[in-house]
Chains A and B, each alone.
Chain A
Amino acid sequence: MPSWPTETKYISHDTTRIDGVAKVTGRARYASDIQAEGWLYGMILRAKWPAAKITDINLEPALKVSGIKAAVLARGQEMTVRFYGEEIAAVAGTSKQACLDALRAIEITAQPLPFVARENDAKKASAPQVWPGSSNHPEPKPRERGNVEAAFKDCAAVIEGFYSTPVQIHNPMETMGNTVSWTDDGLTAWSSTQGISSVRDGLAGALKLDHSQVRVITEYMGGGFGAKFGAGAEGVLAAKLSKEAKAPVRLMLTRFDQNLAVGNRASSFQKIKMGAAADGTLLAFEAENYGTAGIGAGGDGGGGGGGADIPLPYLYKVANSRVKQSAVAVNAGSARAFRAPGNPPASFGMESAMDDLAVKLGMDPLELRLKNDPNPIRQKEYKLGAEKFGWKEKYRKPGSSKGVVKTGIGCAGAAWPAGGGNRNTQGEAQISPDGSIEFRLGVQDIGTGTRTVIAVIAAELLGLTPGQITVKVGDTRFPPGPGSGGSTTCPSISPTVFDICTKALEQLQTQTGIPDARGKNWFAACKKIGINPITVHGQWRDGLSSNPAGGVQFAEVEVDTETGQVTVKKMLGVHDCGLIINRLTLESQINGGIIMGMGYALYEERVMDDLSGVVLNPNFETYKLPGIADVPEIEVILVNMPERGVVGIGEPATVPTAGAIANAVANAIGVRIGSLPITPAKILAALGKVPPTHA
């Protein structure tokens, strides 16, 4: 079995990003920065109805607008619209302004249809069917083990709670989109994507091209979080426009488009009943959950499904349990995979219920977790975290904080059972006689530091410095790599780079006779390889990576009981990450997960107007992301487990945050806010200071 070195210079240390200079100087070219020769601007016309029958679309007036070079239909002259913002047509022209004029000129004949925008309304038998002929809310299939009814009778304490989470929107800072150039030689797409291979396959499939005719390039991209795996309607439209206009087309979504049509995290409405023996041992669990993935069950990507199902009872083993779940279709954009699909809502519901049960049992909620969490790593993480956080000293009974501004603490756990390496990952390195070495992998760096990971590992194994390693990623002409999702990227590429380096050293030995080409021998060995560079091919190897990953988080909050304002004072994340490759970028990723979880806990929610079927907040002024002033001190404990090999961390870091914050709020004010986001209005209503608004 291969194994990672134990004495290291770069692995598990801090290495600054090798593409940092490109990013801070503006030299890095993102998909939205590509200026292909003669490029045109592309833009999409979207439905202004949540449901409609379109009987005619007239593109002629758009084509008459000065500067417009092409106009294409999204589906056909006739189509059924199922959500506000659905793609109808697209135009390409010499300027953004020309495109805006052209979109206004397109004539549409349509008949609005009845629609339904809210989960509760959609469940009613009388509701308009989102997909005519099939129910909006198919009968849930229960999963059952043990004898739930009998077990509840044995419980010393039973709680019943209702916990709900909103539709959350990915909102990467760079919207989705591509620059596509389609010529007789084939198609090139510069894509803002997490999966160059899946975009290539998607474009080839939709446009009936051979895979070999499609090349996808993603040198830099501005975040994805699960939404950016496929070619997307916008990619296919850009290609069609390019073909018609005989010019490259840059089609990036607007921020509005992004919020309406390209994915989100499904909502959840969890009715949980749970009971335990007097010592806290969980005996019985029952949950009914529904949520909406919009019009779809959710497009899937490398990060798992984007459906409405969530894993309950999540981290805990309960001998007697019954779980019923279902998705509710509504006239809204479809869900997609979103950082740890299913897990943040499950963690919020379950961890809230755990704290409610602890109150009923008169137990410290941390003790209740230690009693019931079967995972030894999380057990250790809770103990490490509690000590660093000062849990024992800080914990007070819920609601016992005095004064107008009340403080509270809470904790929650995470698991990410997927992850692990993609066995099909390949890569190559070209070594030149001058000692330069270039790695090429068909993976993409979505901001997690993938390029730097490759450089760190190669430098370590070859005895060079990360700066001496050239890394090329983000091109389907390179050996195939994984999509960046599901915490799989690092465990996929690290063993692959290991394999390439091992083979490179073997080949250098055979070819040059120098027994060990590493470090100080490197340049001498390379000099002896002859005139032509050598290219070494490698692939993923077993035994160097693993899964799952988990973690726990602790939150401390202040709640102003006069304004309802929640301020997160401190977050502590304790995460296991196998062998740490680059401590610096790992810390960034964990911070990022926690901050995204804060948004889920306190600010983010897609708001639909049930009377018009319109998304009311498809922009940053009304869809709130955490800003720098909202972010508290974040401390991280990394549990290094090199014996497990490389483990991904992207997902688990965002899972427990909302549950921990919600529990801290409940601990502060003594009342449970069971619905995310925890807004001032909900706090004041829970305290009886304002009448409740209907959610």
Chain B
Amino acid sequence: MAGLKINNVTKHFNDFTALSDVSLDVADGEFVAVLGPSGCGKTTLLRLVAGFEQLDKGEIVIGGKVMSGAGANVPPENRRVGIVFQNYALWPHMTVAENVGYSLKVAKVDRAAREKRVEEALALVNLQGFGERRPANLSGGQRQRVALARCLVAAPSLVLFDEPLANLDVHLRAAMEDEFAAFHKRTGTTIIYITHDQAEAMALADRIAVLDHGRLAQFATPRTLYEEPANEMVASFIAGGMVLPADVLSGARDGSCNVRILGQETVLRCRPDEVARSDAKVCVRADDLDVVESGGIAIRVKRSIYRGGGSRIEAFPVERPDIDLHFDLPDPARLEEGAEARLAIRTGWVIPRAEGAGH
């Protein structure tokens, strides 16, 4: 087992900065998801940890040993990390057993021991008896399992997953998610799990690192990420949060403060060091908005999308047509396009003043 320290890592491709000053400290045995929109540098980060790319600045330490950094660059074959590739990367010219046993063969494990461990690994992913098959004759889910078995047979100290479920259909995903969770529980291996799917990250990870354009936007537990986003990017990226301009009227007291949003005064959660200021932004989510008879913010409906059992309403404040709001309206209530209504903000989070990411 081994922890992973990524210290101030920067990576350029020619003029393009793929990662800039990213730091992550992953504890031994932790399950960390790296989450971000496509093209934000997730794969690059993973390839740096695996040793396929060389970093321009910073260092990467696995299990207390500097793997990449000034003067050191351990080649991938000597890092003892396991990877489950997005498209599985099973060798088509080998059987399932040969695929799984490859790293043992490389390590010169004798034949009997090798066969036994391959057998065990296949049993762990529920693929007993599949050893003689070729990858081409397996379904997507089975290939994913073989890839997992191939990775765990060498008992790596650190396992990297690159969007392992992206190529599977919805039903298989749920099953494989359970499988990964079980794998983590059983082996206690440190896992870096890359995904662009928030639900997946939230369900699996102890902590999530959100990447945005090559920068670390926030590194925190799923709950913190949802309830206390550190900046506007995380606020709007996670669970469709709305970022609204606001004035903070009072400093923090017991974790909340008085705020005026679009003319409505309300109490929101905030950091203990929050102070009164006029240029603040707050994060509210659809669940935090209630339609009220009086008071609140006057809005006009732009669009109503039926969602089964209720509608998603897209609207804008009458006073501020440039701001987008959305909320859910349970049946039988309805709001047609162009209708006016009033919205009250029940709760929300004051986004802290801009500074470094994370806590």
Chains A and B form a bound pair: no
- Residues in chain A within 8 A of chain B (CB atoms): none
